[in-house]
Amino acid sequence: MAQPETLFTWSETARTEFDALVDGSNASDRFRLALAQTIASGWGANRDKPVWALAGTLALLGETGAGLKSALDFLWLPANTAFAHLGACRHPAVSANEGGSFHLKLPGGGLLLDRFRLKLLQKYLEFLISCDGFAHSGEVAGLLDACLRGGLSDKGAIDTAVKSIAKILYRYRTEHFDDGHATSAFSILRAYLAGIGDTITDDTVFEFWSAETNSHFKTYQASFFALKDYVDALAEARSRAAMRRAGEIDAPGIAAELSVDFVDPFEFEDEDGAAIGDVADDAEQAAAAATGSGEEAASAALKAVADSEVKLIKKREEMLAAPIVSAGRFGCSLPLATLRLLAFHPIQSALSNSLRTGKATLSLEERVTCVEARRYGVLMGEIGDLETAMTEWLKIAFAIRTEEATGNARADAIRAEGVQLLKTRRSQSLARPREELADAFERVERALMALARSLADFRAAVRGRRVRSDDLDSGFEADRAKFAAQLTKLYAT
């Protein structure tokens, strides 16, 4: 399943240029996220506010004699030097605040400048100079040099710089971001989560999808994966910062603003967590040798299984597994939200298709009631059956690839079981010489293990919530009523 909406829908060029800004800079995870937001969508509801803040700050530094010979000198201005200068300049546009920050009265408004924002503006200037392979460096430097020379009284120079640089940014966003203006997921999700306490639970996906303020993510699936991408981006930034042992350079309050708590998907130790651990050592070692990790590796494994020369999985089973492997650890952390995705996204997809094509097996009024949705208990049974099937194929693979008994009691027992399982298979794809089958299974063995593990992890996450089958069924009925009401609102009113 493709993730329909992504957090940072940046081109490879934009990602590379962003990495060049922060790699090796010892910037904290929160600073990286704030810089990404500044580039992608500005501050608050104003995409051009960071440009105005940069131009105005340079004008103030020029007027107060900070000693910058050009706008580029701002890139290397130490924070201690900058704040010592502002504290000593006694300019009417500069007011000191408790805690060491300053309030600057700039043409067009006021700006709170602290160490975090100063560093942010410096990196933002570096981005403006280096973006598009330094294509705009001369123009940007010239515009900001005019602000530095003109000071606060030259409002025309500031306005010209803001408008001209904003056009450069607009073109950059249009070329390098899928959504042109690049104001989408990060800002929307950040604002929504801040309003509910920065906590993601199983219910958050539905609540966000159905919120009046959400006009961007039209489907439950889109809302689910947008939240997943948001959490992934936070985790990636924290991980990279931790590896660099970054210093905390953030302003107070930023930590709370950019943190999101969610359930650890593997905090539950389930007694059945090693359900596929009885596969032969050879298969386990082959799986361990697989390259890649996370959802991308799991999705690649599913594709390999689906494309195998031997028919290992039906299309309906592939469609069931796809959301689970795409959701990965996030899906395990929110297993009920993932079950809702499995049960109800197909209904919304069918509604959209029938409205687009005019063809439908059910009337609109009937389909919005979610009468076709599969119950959670049924889905869990299907997932368990698929996991078992993948494990059985692994045993068959082991049997085909080891023609004789090994002398290892455990391995020989698995081989014998694999031989018996093979006799029950009637697929025409198995009607080929043993050597060809062995080669085919060797190519897909790692993928089978990875897929079986993904399914086992999700089942363990659901069991970890200690939810009984009858509770799953009653929960399904409550959810069906909620989804029916929302789908009726979207499609039948």
Residue 482 counted as domain residue: yes
Whole-angstrom Cα distance, residue 453 to residue 461? 12
What pLDDT does 238 receive? 56
pLDDT band for 279, please (50, 70, 90 cuts).
very low
Residue 32 counted as domain residue: no
Q: Give the mean model confidence (pLDDT) for residues 427-445.
A: 80
Same-domain check for residues 350 and 483: yes
> In terms of residue numbers, what domain contains 421?
281-491
Across 9-13, 196-200, 268-272, 421-425, least confident range: 268-272
Same-domain check for residues 229 and 350: no
Residue 10 counted as domain residue: no
Whole-angstrom Cα distance, residue 19 to residue 458? 33
Strand-pairing partners, residue 96, are 102
Number of CB atoms found within 10 A of residue 195's CB: 10
Phi and psi at residue 397, to the nearest 5°? -60, -40
Q: Specify the amino acid at residue 383.
A: I
Name the domain boundary from 227, 258, 289: 258
Query: How many Cα atoms within 13 Å fall on the side-chain side of residue 267?
Result: 10
- 273, 425 contact by CB (below 8 A): no
Same-domain check for residues 195 and 150: no
Strand-pairing partners, residue 111, are 104
Residue 43 counted as domain residue: no
Same-domain check for residues 419 and 333: yes
Residues 222, 265, 452: CA angle, nearest 5 degrees: 85
Q: Give the mean model confidence (pLDDT) for residues 446-450.
A: 90
Same-domain check for residues 309 and 198: no
Residue 21 counted as domain residue: no
Residue 409 tokens read as 């009691």
Number of CB atoms found within 10 A of residue 487's CB: 21
Same-domain check for residues 106 and 217: no
3-state secondary structure at position 70: coil
Q: Indicate the helix (H) or strand (E) that contains 97.
A: none
Residue 421 counted as domain residue: yes
Name the domain boundary from 243, 258, 273: 258
Same-domain check for residues 303 and 404: yes
Same-domain check for residues 196 and 167: no
Whole-angstrom Cα distance, residue 183 to residue 46? 10
Residue 177 tokens read as 């971001």
Q: What is the pLDDT of residues 164-221, one digit of tens each?
A: 999 999 888 877 775 444 345 566 777 788 788 878 899 999 999 999 888 778 899 9
Across 186-190, 281-285, 413-417, 449-453, least confident range: 281-285
3-state secondary structure at position 207: helix
pTM value? 0.60
Residue 409 counted as domain residue: yes
Q: What is the pLDDT of residues 231-259, one digit of tens each?
A: 876 666 555 444 443 333 333 333 333 33
Same-domain check for residues 164 and 193: no
What pLDDT does 34 receive? 83
Same-domain check for residues 220 and 289: no
Please determine, for residue 435, whether its predicted confidence score (pLDDT) is greater than 90.
no
Same-domain check for residues 211 and 63: no
Q: Indicate the helix (H) or strand (E) that contains 358.
A: none
Among 327, 459, 324, smallest CA distance to 384 is for 459
Helices (H), 64-108: 79-89
What pLDDT does 280 receive? 35
Phi and psi at residue 73, to the nearest 5°? -65, -20
Those residues whose C-beta lies under 8 Å from the C-beta of residue 366, and which sit 6 or more positions away, are: none
Name the domain boundary from 143, 176, 209: 176
Whole-angstrom Cα distance, residue 389 to residue 318? 12
Whole-angstrom Cα distance, residue 58 to residue 71? 7
Q: What is the pLDDT of residues 118-176, one digit of tens each?
A: 999 999 999 999 998 899 999 999 999 999 999 999 999 999 999 999 999 988 887 77
| CA distances, 382 to each of 314, 316, 319, 372, 373 (Å) | 12, 10, 12, 16, 14
pLDDT band for 416, please (50, 70, 90 cuts).
confident
Q: Count of domains in the chain?
A: 3
pLDDT band for 429, please (50, 70, 90 cuts).
confident
What pLDDT does 107 receive? 93
Please determine, for residue 390, whether its predicted confidence score (pLDDT) is greater than 80.
yes
Strand-pairing partners, residue 110, are 105
| CA distances, 44 to each of 47, 185, 191 (Å) | 8, 13, 9
Residue 357 counted as domain residue: yes
The mean predicted confidence, pLDDT, of the chain is 80
Number of CB atoms found within 10 A of residue 217's CB: 23
Among 329, 229, 173, smallest CA distance to 5 is for 229
Phi and psi at residue 43, to the nearest 5°? -120, 130
Same-domain check for residues 161 and 72: yes
